[in-house]
Structure 1
Amino acid sequence: MDRKFVDFQLAPDDLTTIRFGVSPGHELCHAVRALLRPDEYPLQWGWMRTTRSAIPREDFEVLALLIRDEGYFPDFFTTTPTWELTPEAEAERLRDIDDDRFRVDMAKVLARTGGARRAAVQRMLDQPDRARAMIAEAWLSVWNAGVAPVWTQLERLLRADIAVRSRRIAESGIGAMIQTLHDRVAWTDGAVRVTMRIWSEVVDCRGSGLVLVPSVMGTTGCFVLTEPPAQPTLFYPAQGVSATWARDAADATSALGALLGPARARILLDAHEPRTTSQVAGDTGLAISTASHHLTVLRDAGLLASTREGARVLHRRTPLGEAMVGAVL
């Protein structure tokens, strides 16, 4: 049998346009699939035990209709991997999906669906405004019930993965890093090659670059976006995801606290966003002088970086700090 590949072709100048992103939509889609086929997502069992009963049934069924338990789901769920998009903004984006994009993606779902489910998809195609509103409301409802409670833990793992891989690029180059993404991903002749089950395709990324997106929920393999208007995107399983990743943040604080002390553990866990010394002191209930001392210790250990922005000094986790937090989680 001939092997199938998607090749993301890159010109030499495009290597600098390979970037990382985070996709709340991708995480939610695979959260839905985990709930539909739990036997195939053993690393999500801990998460499912604590969230399954809270998932709103009707809204879940709206998403399950489109996402299904395998195969294609609409590209519009995952076309905006970024660092800044909030869940609320993602829901608003779904309300405003371009008419052409909505019809194209929904037609693909329709072609892969039969029976009563096909009739439900057709009704969505026939009433696009109502369907978009229904999809956006269901997305936010299921997100708030199922993913929002663990988003802090999940995002830390994603950031830790990106930090480690960014460091690997600096040390060994982009090709060596690509080889470590997944056993289905390889760097060959200036292209990122992804082994596929069903089809082969050559994607010209010259000028557009490639987005690499780690996933905690999508641990079953790699997924790709190849069709405009989406930027070429490769989703891959984040490293370091274990069955305990969704444990309560207090457990992570306790584990880090045993190593660093409670105050420094709290500062490090909260340092995924840049904050001033005064903000750190206010968040932890410490005196500014005490917070400053802990920040200095963490910075000297290479876990935090401090940068000046005008009159302010902002503190944020380094790649080493991200990796430590990710390992604990």
Structure 2
Amino acid sequence: MGWSFRAVPGATSLLGADVAPYSFDVDRKYVDFQLAPDDLTAIRFGISPGHELCHAVRAMLRPDEYPLQWGWMRAARGAIPREDFEVLALLIREDGYFPDFLTTTPTWELTPEAEAERLRHIDDERFGVDMAKVLDRTDGARREAVQRMLDHPDRARGMIAEAWLSVWNAGIAPVWTQLERVLRADIAVRSRRIAESGIGATIQTLHDRVAWHDGAVRVTMRIWSEVVDCRGSGLVLVPSVMGSTGCFVLTEPPAQPTLFYPAQGVTATWARDPADVDAALGALLGPARARILLDAHEPRTTTQVAHDTGLAASTASHHLTVLREAGLLSSTREGARVLHRRSPLGEALVGAVL
């Protein structure tokens, strides 16, 4: 029982096809995420591997719409398994809705393996609701393939999970370090801006479709309008490197209200070889300090830094002090341990080099 849609007239291939650009409804549709004014706890940031993968698939389907991903695509497209790609492309499509279960509530710690395992165990109700939405938006051979998934949910969930992990390992895993640095740099800068200027002023900088309006984060939409009360639950802001074409929202439970927006500072060279980044930072800071800063996305002790870099503890301590005094690292005490991690300025510097 195959679910390929290769026979669909006009279906795009891995190399993409000409597709009309986005157009906005003249009636000005909005989604308003209502927040308590100046409540810093109402906003949190997250990273969504699923969102990045979904828009990586769209970039492959519509390369003309994703010029900032051309460098990544040149390296990745030959490695991605065609059949697994087509399973995801069937659900994600070139435009419009794709299943909410593919972009779980963003977090900081979710691994690709854990994400694939989550997809294997999507509850029947959520799987049925999301897949029915996909079914309503497809026709022809694609619709028949989606219907077969709805008719055999256990097999479909397993196939989706396997395809997700396969495409991730082939296309995203090789550049995840670079991609994650850009995302963390964006979050660091935005978080600092919220603390300095407030939620409203920061929201205005996310995208030209996003505004602060009467205590709500207002997102201009193409098709529908909705008011989402986030007071109590809060709103998750998620930067995206792959989703550079615009903003996307999650509004329906069980997902927490979420706004995906393009990360700032993304250029066509974001996916360049990590060795080039090492060299660029090394020329600025010196090789040892560049290595320490690049590895400081997670908190580590001085002993761990020394071990990972092959430096004496005293030498590692000296470099950490220099980076901390320059504002690129922050150090916090937890019991008997002192942990070092990139500061917002350090995140911004690493993101800028990328």
Q: CA deviation at 1:294?
A: 0.5
Which of 246, 249, 274 lines up with 2:299 in the alignment?
274
Once superposed, what is the RMSD of the aligned Cα atoms? 0.9
Aligned equivalent of 2:319: 294
Structure 1 stretches lacking a partner, 5+ long:
none
Of all paired residues, the percent bearing the same amino acid is 89
Kindly report which structure 2 residues correspond to 1:24-63, keeping only aligned pairs within 5 A, or say none. Answer: 24-63=49-88
TM-score of the aligned structures, taking structure 1 as reference length: 0.98
C-alpha distance in structure 2 between counterparts of 1:13 and 1:162, whole Å: 18
Which of 212, 218, 225 lines up with 2:250 in the alignment?
225
C-alpha distance in structure 2 between counterparts of 1:172 and 1:119, whole Å: 51
Q: CA deviation at 1:77?
A: 0.6
Match status 1:143 vs 2:143 = no
Aligned equivalent of 2:14: none
1:53 is paired with a residue whose SS is: coil
Q: CA deviation at 1:11?
A: 2.9
Encode CA deviations 1:149-173: one digit per residue, 9 max, x unaligned.
Answer: 0000000000000000011011111
Encode CA deviations 1:51-108: one digit per residue, 9 max, x unaligned.
Answer: 1100011100000000001100000011220111111111111011011000000000
2:330 is paired with a residue whose SS is: strand
Aligned equivalent of 2:5: none
Match status 1:211 vs 2:211 = no
Q: CA deviation at 1:15?
A: 4.5
C-alpha distance in structure 1 between counterparts of 2:196 and 2:38, whole Å: 19
Kindly report which structure 2 residues correspond to 1:123-272, keeping only aligned pairs within 5 A, or say none. Answer: 123-272=148-297
Structure with the higher fraction of residues in helix conformation: 1
Structure 2 stretches lacking a partner, 5+ long:
1-25
Aligned equivalent of 2:28: 3
TM-score of the aligned structures, taking structure 2 as reference length: 0.92
1:124 is paired with a residue whose SS is: helix
Which of 44, 47, 51 lines up with 1:19 in the alignment?
44
Which of 102, 105, 110 lines up with 1:85 in the alignment?
110
Encode CA deviations 1:2-33: one digit per residue, 9 max, x unaligned.
Answer: 21111111234854121000000000000000
2:338 is paired with a residue whose SS is: strand
1:307 is paired with a residue whose SS is: strand
- Equivalent residues of 1:7, 1:202 under 8 A apart: yes
